[in-house]
Chain A
């Protein structure tokens, strides 16, 4: 096969110039003539009845153009990414701190803020439900009168769990807790909306799901979807927090109410209070194994606090549960998920989507199992590791699983796993050094029986340049660069000849959301198909022009080739000739994920089938006097199928692992009866340049069948094994038992205090 022209090459980031010069327009940088400032009134209590809501004084404030509440929504008063249970404006009660009661549009921000203060709300605070394990007891107060606090109970099983534990010589049993984490994209949520002369509406939206925004805006405004045009400016990160709509519907309602452009940008505090969090989980785990380390049974009960609205709660729990036996062959599994409603912040999608919570539990279990059996943590993982063709608890069989062992072995090599015992474990009286390993399994795309598709429009111009219109938002990861590479490679032109048109629902096709590590696979395949269709047309023309059989012809870097030799005929020539022959040189590519393999009976019906593996290893120093953990080195080795762009691909792993360091050691949303105490970036701490250790990141390519050029998604996987790699290293260093993340210095010290002096390593 020919070497690729652009795939796998470090092509520059599409539109980098705007990003490094400050010219890139993000939502907050958009300024329209006569634009008003929109502000939202958020709930003062996490759980209360609304006795009275009076906006009359706010409306009279000079400079205020409109104040709207639930009474002013012409269509449906709810969000609707999936479930439609969360109101846009609360009417009779508030259920969490992020509920919105009213929206103000005013001539400037100060006036809008002053107007919020003039809105009178009388609350009757109710006690509320804040502890997920209490919430599922029959005597618990209910979040919703007509609904059980247990929103969803999922069971995934394989084999015979009782028999599996009977075969076990040892059983490891533990309960784990993972803290509530905050996505914290640097750009908070925002939108600008404007009514057009014809009554249609344009909404600039910082979103991961432009076409879902369109549906939701139309539904709330009571207009048809083709009257709504959603455009994505540059987007300053998402990590899950911009999947469900945020303020774009409110901005659209205010624009409709005032006839003027309206901008709403959330403050950092508003963003942290209202958008989704990584669910806190309790995971009750039992792992049974034979004396030789072979796993015979895994039982997991995973409880997740999803807050008061459905959002993507059951879906996140589903991903956690289906992967909760880890990247290990488990012949007997009983995996249960409990999605629990409370009055805490909403749990939803955040990079890894339930995966990091599960990984912390299953990888701590593996180390405890190894310790109990006096086996090496690497050896026990390799012994049980999943591989190609093996069945997982959902019932699906792994198509391509060679990455599991390969990633583990490479991570171990890079951290010098076999030499660790020769190194100094007590470099000073107060310091302890340790090493930890963790692997993961993850599934990409949505899974069976869930619509999962994308459309790309390609238009070749007479000068040989290509327009690529995608409905998939580039939220900062470089998706559009990757799509340009896939399209240009498939068509046979230079990547510099591609212009990517960002999501604009009036020009681009619905491609679902940028989530589930799906976009390079699905939008990528749509782009590849469209490019191949255009290429076919050009080659038919070329065959007629040259008299050569089509089979020997190809296009490469903008030129025609015959049996690999360049012919003096360009894509530009062929584009023009094809057009003169009334042949279309544009194409729509549409792709929906394929699941050709049938599932056996009693399988999990939504079982996904694109599997990805990876392993990380950490070397840490723990200060047993202060509890502080210093990561000396972190290595990350992931299976990514074919790499489209090494900068983009490695960047995803690097960034994911950095987020994983935060998740392991420092990041946690603290709340007290639903009131978030860490609602700023100086109380919710993100890793800084000083917190990130030297990292070695490597990607191993195991091409996936049924994806364009064998690519796999890698947007989420970088975070999956980071926390357990670090916590296993802390355990190795100190001997403390760890059943909770983040392991802040405070928790490390507490755990050390629980050990007797002679138990500390």
Chain B
């Protein structure tokens, strides 16, 4: 069987994938592209561990078929750090222990990232809303919320944005 070539951008690199377009984006990212930071916690869109950013919005990559990503820009947790430097969001998560087992962390980071694209100065309630689709069984989410708040404050104070922070 031949499959159509799908053109997209993943973590700022132009990528062509040629796989069964009915496979999920999560599956292709993990197994074909080695981006195993994308986690599978349920495969049904309930847990948020597989959240990635697709055209500036958070999506459960287990609910996206790879055939839908033609010309899309995808960002995964692997694309956050730049030249060995952690993204401020990652830095805050680390500083605050905003995780325990860390399995939900990649998805949590990406949901928070998507929020800060849309809303650089979110309220606590808006942060809770944005990560409500990301289940964490280890923490009480408070440190996650604080990490997102502090990232937002840091970026604004330094006149940076969530996407343009480096340098």
Q: Using Cβ atoms and an 8 Å threshold, which residues of chain A touch B138? A: 186, 237, 476-477, 651, 655
Q: Shortest beta-carbon distance, A333 to chain B, in Å?
A: 34
Kindly list chain A residues whose C-beta atoms are within 8 Å of the C-beta of B76: 22
**Distance (Å) between the CB of A231 and the closest chain B CB?**
17
- With A29-B36, A692-B140 in contact, do A681 and B102 touch (Cβ < 8 Å)? no
**Chain A residues in 8 Å Cβ range of B109:** 20
Interface flags for A84-95 (1: CB within 8 Å of B; 0: not) read 000000000000
Q: Is A421 an interface residue (CB 8 A)?
A: no
Question: Is the CB–CB distance between A24 and B102 below 8 Å?
Answer: yes
A17 to B81, CA, bound (A): 10
Give bound CA distance, A22 to B34, whole Å.
11
Main secondary structure of the interface of A (DSSP, over half): loop
Contact with A along B45-82 (1 / 0, CB 8 A): 01101000000000000000000000000001110110
- Is A296 close to B, CB under 8 A? no
B41 touching A186, Cβ below 8 Å: yes
Of B1-9, B124-132, B151-159, the one touching chain A? B124-132
A186-B41, A658-B139 known; A689 and B144 CB under 8 Å?
Answer: yes
Residues in chain A near residue B133, CB distance under 8 A? 688
CB neighbours of A29 from chain B (8 A): 30, 36
Chain A 416-445 against B: per-residue CB contact (8 Å), 1 yes, 0 no?
A: 000000000000000000000000000000
CA–CA, A260 and B58, complex, Å: 38
> Which interface residue of A12, A24, A689 has the most chain B CB atoms within 10 A?
A689
- Please pick, from A476, A659, A681, the residue contacting B44 in the complex, using a CB distance under 8 A: A681
* Beta-carbon contact of A236 and B101 below 8 Å: yes
| Cα distance A185–B102 in the bound complex, in angstroms | 11
How far is the CB of B85 from the nearest CB of chain A, in Å?
Answer: 11
CB of A239 within 8 A of chain B? yes
Q: Decide if B99 touches A186 in the complex (CB within 8 Å).
A: no
Complex interface: chain B residues within 8 A of A682 (CB)? 44, 46
Q: Which residues of A contact B102 (CB under 8 A)?
A: 19-20, 24, 234, 236, 476
Closest Cβ–Cβ distance, residue B36 to chain A (whole Å) = 4
Is A654 on the interface with B (CB-CB < 8 A)?
A: yes
- Chain A nearest CB from B167 CB (Å) reads 19
A478 to B101, CA, bound (A): 8
A484 contacts partner chain B, Cβ-Cβ < 8 Å: no
Residues on the A chain within 8 Å of B93, using CB: 20
B150 CB, nearest partner CB in chain A, Å: 14
**Shortest distance in angstroms between B67's beta carbon and chain A's nearest beta carbon?**
17
What are the residues of chain B within 8 A of A647 when measuring CB–CB? 96-97
Interface assignment of A142: CB less than 8 Å from any CB of chain B: no
Tell me whether A681 and B141 are in contact (CB under 8 A). Answer: no
Asked whether, in the complex, the Cβ of A686 is within 8 Å of the Cβ of B137, the reply is yes
Contact status A187-B97, CB under 8 Å: no
Judged by a CB distance under 8 angstroms, whether A673 is at the interface is no
Contact string against B for A residues 457-476, beta-carbon threshold 8 Å, 1 for contact and 0 otherwise: 00000000000000000011
Do the beta carbons of B106 and A658 come within 8 Å of each other? Answer: no
| Neighbouring A residues of B134 by C-beta, 8 Å | 688-689
User: Are B145 and A689 neighbours in the complex by a CB distance under 8 Å?
Assistant: yes
Chain A, 682-717, CB within 8 A of any chain B CB: 682, 686, 688-690, 692, 695
Q: Which residue of B lies closest to A109 (CB)?
A: B27
A20 B105 Cβ-Cβ under 8 A: yes
Let me know if A290 is at the binding interface, CB within 8 A: no
Assuming the contacts A22-B38, A187-B103, asked whether A689 and B49 have C-beta atoms less than 8 A apart, the reply is: no
Asked whether, in the complex, the Cβ of A688 is within 8 Å of the Cβ of B135, the reply is: yes
Q: Are B101 and A475 in contact (CB under 8 A)?
A: yes
Per-residue interface assignment for chain A, residues 643 to 684, with 1 indicating a CB less than 8 Å from any chain B CB and 0 otherwise: 000011001001101110000000000000000000011100
Q: Tell me whether B42 is interfacial, beta carbon within 8 Å.
A: yes
**Can you name the residue of chain A whose Cβ is closest to the Cβ of B102?**
A19
A689-B132, A690-B132 known; A186+B86 contact, CB < 8 A: no
15 contacts between A and B (CB under 8 A): A19-B105, A20-B99, A21-B90, A22-B77, A28-B39, A188-B41, A237-B138, A478-B100, A651-B100, A655-B137, A680-B42, A688-B133, A689-B132, A689-B136, A692-B142
Residues in A lying within 8 Å of B, measured CB to CB = 12-13, 16-17, 19-26, 28-29, 184-188, 234-237, 239, 265, 267-268, 475-478, 647-648, 651, 654-655, 657-659, 680-682, 686, 688-690, 692, 695
* A-B interface, 7 closest residue pairs, ranked by CB to CB distance from nearest: A22-B37, A476-B101, A236-B103, A19-B102, A22-B77, A681-B46, A29-B36
